[in-house]
Structure 1
Amino acid sequence: MTSSTRHFVLAAGGTGGHLTPAFALAHELERRGHHVALITDERGEAIPGKPDFLTAHVLPAGRFGKNPLRWPAAIKAVLQGRTMSQRLYETVQPTAVIGFGGYPALPALLGAQAMEIPTIVHEQNAVLGRVNRLLAGRVDAIALSYPDVDRLKAKYEKKTHLVGNPVRPAVLSLRDQEFPAFTEEGLFRVLVTGGSQGARVLSEVVPDGLSMLPPALRNRLQVTQQCRPEDLDAVRARYANHEIPAELATYFENMSARLADTHLFIGRAGASTIAELTAVGRPAILVPLPIATDDHQAANTREIVKAGGARSIRQTGFTAKELAKQIAAMAQRPETLANAAHAAWNCGRPDAASDLADLVESFGGADMMDVIRVGENNARGASQEAAPNRATRDTPRGKGA
């Protein structure tokens, strides 16, 4: 460790959407010589992919639902978690505490604020989450993944920083690879995932939609689809009836390798999914989860759809016929799909982990670096939007575009 070694604490809910960017930041801070610890719940402590060096602390965290009768117990749990976090901080003495959303982040951030430790929150979605919204007025900085975020009050503009949503190193390493060759005679590789929530509608609609494609596309299909265990046999039968070759599983270990070969992605619009699609540059048809809090998945699609890198279909209109129509519009000509891939790639923010680490390091150390400021308050990701002559954003990369 160097003489500038500091301690940072990351706090996140136990889902992959919260923990993936937290783990990416942990790797970057550890690479820079700092100590990093994690506050989460039981799910987060056991989730695959947690760095070996990252010690996890499980603290009580009440969940505030719609039933007010449960709020007293939730408040009690938050207060207990806040007290326990303060005991941890007395030992660790962190330079800053960084929250990634989810209820487990709440007591950790409240404890830090009570001890006057700098706090930062990172928002993965295009709608400010409930915990981040609750604490937005009290934190020292708000790091954003999108240039336009709903539920973020204008009065907080001076402490917001556009950094992007960090992705896994295995995915980021694909960014400079060519978009896989897509010709009028070659294979048409489609990747379908839906996550644990709402994947059934994809299992029901996608096989039939693919069967309705024009023969020139249908006969070249090679499908990889992630399904829920209870749907696996039915989906396999659908593809067999349509005579479409498909590899199906409930989980794929080498998802990054499969993404590398993909010509078109079909799936939900979670923050990590969009971040990975834009990091690699893969066109997509997105079906936002309708029950997502504050409809944040629909908001997540705005930037990539506006750029031309994806199409979004509301679940109420997600039929086999509509899916086939949208796929045909994107893939009937090779250059159309390649242009969509390039548009998606242009939305990527590959420096997200580094920019977020720069922001985090600016507390308790040197003055905030100019490199992460644009105007008064945005990070380097914003400068990519503001400067049309930047090669990383607007110069064609030769990826089939």
Structure 2
Amino acid sequence: MSSVSCHYVLAAGGTGGHLTPAFALAAELEKRGHHVALITDKRGSEIPGKPDFLPAHVLPAGRFGKNPLRWPTGISAVLQGRGMAKRLYETFQPSAVIGFGGYPALPALLAASSAGIPTIIHEQNAVLGRVNRLLSGRVSAIATAYPDVQRLKGKYAPKTHLVGNPVRPEVLALRDEEFPAFTADGLFRVLVTGGSQGARILSEVVPDALSMLQPALRSRLQITQQCRPEDLERVRDRYAEYAIPAELGTYFEDMQNRLADTHLFIGRAGASTIAELTAVGRPAILIPLPIATDDHQTANAREMVKAGGARSIRQAMATVPNPDDASGTKANAMRHRQADLFQKMAKDISKQIQAMAQHPETLATAAHAAWNCGRPDAAEKLADLVESFGATPIQDVIRVGAKTARGSTRNATASQGAAKDSNS
């Protein structure tokens, strides 16, 4: 742990998957006495969970889709954001800039590189994301959440560090608690979440899957499920039809408390989801989002599945065209096809639930396997890596009052390293 107070900038795209680990790192760095600022976009500035001490700077972030005609607009936004970031660095003087992926991180890291400021990227998924892939060759260090990360070139191994994916402190606090008692005649509590993109398919298939369980297990169910607002009433009616007790909501503020009581999780395989399940030790049935970039959710699930902490079910093309977009015979055929796919998924999920919950010890064993996959010290390890780019006390003196202090600081460090090598 550094005894010097430094300045660090975190840059993260506007999704919870990028911002949650950034918030966790910010809390750890602030606890160590450092000053931290956040660069994000407008959407990111509205994500809940940002620590009160963390100032957010909203920068334009260009997006680069498949249509080349839109690239000039994206490039213009990146250049504008890079200029704004450079002006921020002149005032804030960060010892390092840490990117967590997403397009808003791109101008922040490009500005840092051009200013000679050390840069670190953190990859939450088991596949290197597009922005991190673009920047991996020029950054000072790469931090990963998984031992094996696809699309990360082998030549970058010397600067790659496995740290894990930082999770919220309130979730991490559950790690030392026992897996909730699961007996042959007690309640069977199931938590179902899917995020904004994944909740619809789960709303379609999970109630049916639970209705297919053997009566002895089905009678013990207690469900908590996240749904999209437009799905709430339909899902509530479905559970009522099956006489299965269920609490539904579009968002649960006390998710950590619900996770604490959960015997089985059903949901997507996003990076933050996997990190929290393994930090706490909760068995899961994972249904990777098939349209996730580079199919990274399937890759995310592999470690937990291989360890025995989860089962993975591939979503049969749920991207079937919407029957509402067609008419007549074609629409009816599409509805039948969609219904068949949903029914097949429901049967697969039901089969896996029955296999995992048939005996109390099976779930407990899976919970322990999930727990063993956790990396609870991810925030600390990432903070240690970040601090390795902090200034020493003598360098702080050099930096103050010198317009080119940052370059002077690095030259001094290089000279000291060279002298040490020549004397050894």
- TM-score normalised by the chain length of structure 2: 0.85
SS of the aligned residue for 1:36 comes to strand
Q: Which residue of 1 aligns with 2:334?
A: none
Mapped partners of 2:352, 2:372: distance in 1 = 21
Structure 1 residues 209-220: aligned runs within 5 Å: 209-220=209-220
Structure 1 residues 200-349: aligned runs within 5 Å: 200-316=200-316, 319-349=345-375
- Name the Cα RMSD after superposition: 1.0
Mapped partners of 2:243, 2:234: distance in 1 = 14
Mapped partners of 1:362, 1:285: distance in 2 = 39
Structure 1 residues 22-33: aligned runs within 5 Å: 22-33=22-33
Q: Residue 93 in 1 paired to residue 93 in 2?
A: yes
Mapped partners of 1:109, 1:58: distance in 2 = 14
Structure 1 residues 2-401: aligned runs within 5 Å: 4-316=4-316, 319-365=345-391
1:253 Cα offset (Å): 1.3
1:345 Cα offset (Å): 0.2
Q: Which residue of 2 aligns with 1:392?
A: none
Mapped partners of 2:159, 2:302: distance in 1 = 23
Write out per-residue CA displacement over residues 152-193 of structure 1, whole angstroms, 9 at most, x where no aligned residue: 000001110000000001100000000000010100000000
Write out per-residue CA displacement over residues 291-343 of structure 1, whole angstroms, 9 at most, x where no aligned residue: 10010011100000000000010110761111110011111000001000000
Mapped partners of 1:358, 1:258: distance in 2 = 31
Q: Which amino acid aligns with 1:228?
A: R
Gap regions ≥5 residues in structure 2: 317-340, 393-424
- TM-score normalised by the chain length of structure 1: 0.90
Structure whose alpha-carbon radius of gyration is higher: 2
Mapped partners of 2:220, 2:257: distance in 1 = 20
1:365 Cα offset (Å): 3.9
Mapped partners of 2:382, 2:253: distance in 1 = 28
1:124 Cα offset (Å): 0.3
Q: Which amino acid aligns with 2:360?
A: P
1:3 Cα offset (Å): 6.5
The 10-residue stretch of structure 1 (44-53 or 104-113) with the greater mean CA deviation from structure 2: 44-53
SS of the aligned residue for 1:51 comes to coil
Cα 1:217–1:44 change in 2 (3 A) is same
Mapped partners of 1:8, 1:57: distance in 2 = 13
SS of the aligned residue for 2:120 comes to strand
Q: Percent identity?
A: 81
Mapped partners of 1:66, 1:250: distance in 2 = 32
Q: Which amino acid aligns with 1:76?
A: S
Write out per-residue CA displacement over residues 339-391 of structure 1, whole angstroms, 9 at most, x where no aligned residue: 0000000000000000000000001346xxxxxxxxxxxxxxxxxxxxxxxxx
Structure with higher helix content: 2
The 10-residue stretch of structure 1 (107-116 or 310-319) with the greater mean CA deviation from structure 2: 310-319
